[in-house]
């Protein structure tokens, strides 16, 4: 949960240059990112936290 309007795919793309992933680990890394979710919202907006709560 954060204010930025991002997606898990965008986060993965940003992270990849900093990850040392061997060919044998690509499936595991993909599985890791599939389990991640990202919810965008405002910290002072009650509806944003309601959206987060529903997601959880």
pTM, entire model: 0.76
Classify residue 22: in a domain, yes or no.
yes
Phi-psi region of 55 (alpha: psi -120 to 50; beta: other; left: phi over 0): alpha
Classify residue 51: in a domain, yes or no.
yes
Of 12, 18, 10, whose CA–CA distance to 40 is shortest?
10
Domain coverage including residue 27: 8-55
Q: Tell me the Cα Rg of the chain.
A: 14
pLDDT at res. 3: 94
pLDDT at res. 28: 97
- pLDDT, tens digit, 9 for 90 and up, residues 1-56: 999 999 999 999 999 999 999 999 999 999 999 999 999 999 999 999 999 999 99
Classify residue 25: in a domain, yes or no.
yes
Classify residue 3: in a domain, yes or no.
no
Contact 49, 41 (CB under 8 A): yes
Q: How many structural domains are present in the chain?
A: 1
pLDDT at res. 11: 96
Classify residue 42: in a domain, yes or no.
yes
Q: Is 7 exposed, middle or buried (0-12, 13-18, 19+ CB in 10 A)?
A: exposed
């Amino acid at each position: 949960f954060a204010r930025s309007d991002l997606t898990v795919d965008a986060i993965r793309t940003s992270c990849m240059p900093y990850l040392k992933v061997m060919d044998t680990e690509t499936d595991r890394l993909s599985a890791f990112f599939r389990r991640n979710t990202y919810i965008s919202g405002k910290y002072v907006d009650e509806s944003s936290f309601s959206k987060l709560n529903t997601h959880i």
